[in-house]
């Protein structure tokens, strides 16, 4: 979910592992020349989802190993979930709806957050949590944790898997 720390933790994990980090917002802009918020407001939900799908599909084309920040809404697309399950180790970064809303507010590129961001996070997380849980190889709660500590936990988990 937006606000979970994907970008920050992805960059930290990149520093630890030496692997390149590809941010979902940058991949989306590369494929559409727009932010998620612009796509939603100008072209609607279907175009946003298509742009997110295209961004995620760029992930497996990156040199391996790479760290890819997946657009949160891609969990709603079974085909993209299959792609992630087949081609990636999937880490679900969790936090409470309150923490997610607090972290996500103020980012001009983020859609959905006009109005009551916490209510939107609560509803959306309740819908998506079972999907994230089913897809994730590792679940890490990011609330009240430093990004470097979370990234180190993920790096240690990867090293253990590869040992």
Quote the CA–CA distance of 10 and 48 in Å, as a whole number: 22
Residue at 61 is within a domain? yes
CATH at 85: 3.40.50.300
State pLDDT tens for residues 21-46.
998 888 888 888 888 778 888 888 88
User: 135 in a domain, yes or no?
Assistant: yes
Percent over 90 (pLDDT), the chain? 50
**33 domain-assigned:** yes
121-160 pLDDT tens trace: 899 999 999 999 999 999 999 999 999 999 999 999 999 9
The total domain count for the chain is 1
Is the pLDDT at 101 greater than 90? The verdict is: no
- Note whether residue 1 is domain-resident: no
- What is the residue range of 46's domain? 6-162
**Mean pLDDT over residues 58-87, rounded?**
87
Per-residue pLDDT, averaged over 6-28, amounts to 93
Q: Indicate whether 57 pLDDT > 90.
A: no
Q: Is residue 136 part of a domain?
A: yes
């Amino acid at each position: 979910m937006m606000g979970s720390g994907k970008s920050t933790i992805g960059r930290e994990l990149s520093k630890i592992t030496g692997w390149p980090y590809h941010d979902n917002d940058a991949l989306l802009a590369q494929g559409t020349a727009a932010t998620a918020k612009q796509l939603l407001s100008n072209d609607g939900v279907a175009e946003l989802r298509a742009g997110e799908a295209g961004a995620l599909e760029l992930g497996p084309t990156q040199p391996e190993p790479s760290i890819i920040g997946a657009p949160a809404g891609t969990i709603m697309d079974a085909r993209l979930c299959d792609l992630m399950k087949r081609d990636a180790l999937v880490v679900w970064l969790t936090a409470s709806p309150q923490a997610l809303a607090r972290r996500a507010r103020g980012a001009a590129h983020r859609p959905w957050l006009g109005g009551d961001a916490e209510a939107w996070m609560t509803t959306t997380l309740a819908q998506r949590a079972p999907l994230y849980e089913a897809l994730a190889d590792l679940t890490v709660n990011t609330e009240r944790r430093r990004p470097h500590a979370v990234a180190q936990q993920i790096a240690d988990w990867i090293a253990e898997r590869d040992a």
